Amino acid sequence: MIGAATAESLNGGLGNDTITGGGGADTLTGGVGSDQFVYTADTDSPAVIAGTTFSGDRITDFDSSVDKISIDKVGAIDFNLSTTVTVTALNITTGPVTFAAVASAVLAATPAVSSASTAQVYDITITTGPLAGHYVLVNDGVAAMATTDLLVQLTGSSSAAVNAGNFAFF
């Protein structure tokens, strides 16, 4: 299932689905089965670096035991089939929380950045304020949170932590 360059809702339903939202702030639902959510570039769901409003993709039912987020490019990095992943968990429990505060927490957590051989992923949980929720940030190779990073919100039953096995690269 492939979306357009605009915001839309895509629902895979039953079975194992491959869903590519494309540009725009998409709402993606895989449904029952092992689903793959595909991002061909960071522009499919760019990171927000200011304010308190999320404007990227939402995956409503990500199941970390069977689903995957598949990524091709983030920023200038063109990932490949042999790319490995490092996941860093971040829990933000005090406010006020803005995306600028999230960016500061990401930078303070670890200076690790992505490369073509290793993707740096941040599994971010915010427990307070208007941004409360679960987010996945894929770094673009620069030691700062920027609009060239990929940022996706996991909503609904998507509260379980993500792990390296939840990511594939092409």
Q: Is the pLDDT of residue 141 over 90?
A: yes
Q: Is the pLDDT of residue 159 over 80?
A: no
Q: In the structure, what pLDDT confidence band is assigned to residue 157 with cuts at 50, 70 and 90?
A: low
Which residues lie below 8 Å from residue 111, measured CB to CB, with a gap of 6+? 143
Q: Is the pLDDT of residue 34 over 80?
A: yes
In the numeric block, the tokens 């089939």 are attached to 81
Q: Is the pLDDT of residue 144 over 90?
A: no
Cβ pair 118, 74 in contact under 8 A: no
What share of the chain has pLDDT > 70, as a percent? 97
Q: Is the pLDDT of residue 113 over 70?
A: yes
pLDDT of residue 136: 97
Question: What's the gap between Cα 113 and its chain centre?
Answer: 15
Q: Which two tokens stand for residue 149?
A: 């990073």
Q: What is the mean pLDDT of residues 50-61?
A: 94
* Mean confidence (pLDDT) of the chain: 93
Q: In the structure, what pLDDT confidence band is assigned to residue 140 with cuts at 50, 70 and 90?
A: very high
SS3 85: strand
Q: What is the mean pLDDT of residues 129-137?
A: 93
Count the helices and strands in the chain (H runs, E runs): 1, 13
Closest Cα to residue 107, out of 161, 78, 146?
Answer: 146
pLDDT of residue 156: 79
pLDDT of residue 111: 63
pLDDT of residue 158: 63
Question: What's the gap between Cα 161 and its chain centre?
Answer: 12
Phi, psi of 165 (to 5 degrees): -70, -10
Q: What is the mean pLDDT of residues 111-128?
A: 91
